[in-house]
A and B are shown apart, each in its own frame.
Chain A
Amino acid sequence: MSRGPDLFGSYVPGTSFLHRAPLWAKALGILAVTVAVAAAPSWPVPAALSALLLVSGSAAGVGAREWWRGLAPALPVLVLLALYHVLTAGAAQAADVVLTIVVFLVLTRVLMHTTPLPELLDGVVWLCSPVRLIGADPERIGLAVSLMLRSIPFIVGAVGELRDAVRARGLRPNPVVLVTPAVIATVAYAQRTGEALAARGFD
């Protein structure tokens, strides 16, 4: 099974200031970016933040190829959104919407590149600890988040392999025809993952 598109990136060991920054500081940074984007009157703020994050990420070792791998799968959606907003609300609004999404795509990649997943998992578990009051288990929520990060690229990769299998038989891949085998592959993957987790005592 191929890895599929590298949507979120993964941790690469390093010694940059972002690698060394504690998780709480990164969480505060994310909060600050979110507030800035939400409060921003128009596109220059997300544009500036995108540039700042690109520079910070590059300083932490995110290479041009890695940026491209993260942004390329989102391009069709970004183009469609841009066209829609240009036609309905004007170019400034389109730039604002698209750049806001780019900010969070870049932010996710920088976070994933500089933070080991177990550390992230610890953070999510800590953040979710109040759910204990209603009888839920924060460890499960943390595990679900890490499984989601692992599973989305896997499933997108599985769809790509189905498409290749159809092409290899000389047929034209029809998205409608691919839906059923893709759903079956996804369910099978979920079952295998569940079984593997159960075998390891995470049930």
Chain B
Amino acid sequence: MANPVEQFKIEPIVPLEIGGVNVSFTNSSLFMVVAVVLATAFLTLSVKGRALVPGRWQSMAELMYEFVANMIRDNVGTEGRKYFPFVFTLFMFVLFGNLLGMIPYTFTYTSHIAVTFGLAIVIFIGVTIIGFARHGTHYLRMFFPHGAPLATAIILVPIELISYCSRPFSLAIRLFANMTVGHIILKVMAGFIIMLGIAGIAPMVFLGGVTVLEFGIALLQAYVFTILTCIYLHDAIHMH
């Protein structure tokens, strides 16, 4: 049976090296470019007609816009509107990354901890800077909930600090683990189909079900990544 983790190997397509650093254009970069081009084409071309009563494509683009705009308005409030471009880009990037990976023989760039941790650390640093810019040192009050007795501060503050600092890790690992494990399951099941010959009908049915589940998980994980970003923004802007 072929190794199910081989699908995550990064292959350089155009090998480049600048000052000893490997900056080659890899299959991961290729699919990131494909996702960006697809998302941009979808959003710009479908609203080109600017119809007042939207047709099918324009409806879809408007639905996506409203979906993220409502998410921000409900979770961050009206001051969050200035972060809409960032959150929308994040949502589109993760969504297209997850969905492109469902096509056979493609590469899921969100299945690499390098990509997801890069996104998560940017969100974490950005949210921390926003919190300090808005509230100054008062932001540190976030680690000591209002009204708790002073004696508990000794245990409470380290726990809150650790839970705050674990946010980028949990964001990154949640997305990367979901994508990686999903694709490994798909590969292993597909291997069983070939191994069993005629009796491979049973794993094939199971594989059909798991593929539908993986599509759902692709959408859900993009949504959860974005909504957790909105929740962290809310915490930074409004301090609980």
- A and B interact: no
